[in-house]
């Protein structure tokens, strides 16, 4: 089990790693499709920081892919 805040930070850390691995010109290009919309790594980081529905969805899916369950 992992708390939502820890899960959010881990998700942000992983997105930052992706961002840093991309050339600056690629960071604003769409790379993810969530809930039928496309997002760049920069916009997805913003969604997670702001705790939008899209950001929360990313946190939960990221933790699921790592085998974590988020505690309420």
Domain count, the chain: 1
With a pLDDT cut of 70, the percent of the chain lying above it is: 99
C-alpha 72/C-alpha 59 separation (Å) is: 13
pLDDT: is 43 or 35 the higher one?
43
With a pLDDT cut of 90, the percent of the chain lying above it is: 94
| Banded pLDDT at 35 (limits 50, 70, 90) | confident
Structural domain for 26, as ranges? 2-71
Q: Mean pLDDT across the stretch 41-49?
A: 97
Phi and psi for 28 in degrees, rounded to 5? -100, 5
C-alpha 66/C-alpha 52 separation (Å) is: 21
pTM of the model: 0.90
pLDDT at 54: 95
């Amino acid at each position: 089990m992992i708390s939502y805040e820890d899960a959010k930070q881990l998700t942000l850390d992983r997105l930052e790693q992706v961002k840093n691995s991309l050339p600056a010109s690629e960071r604003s290009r769409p790379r993810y499709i969530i809930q039928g919309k496309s997002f760049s790594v920069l916009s997805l980081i913003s969604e997670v920081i702001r705790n939008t529905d899209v950001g929360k969805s990313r946190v939960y899916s990221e933790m699921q892919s790592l085998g974590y369950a988020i505690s309420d």
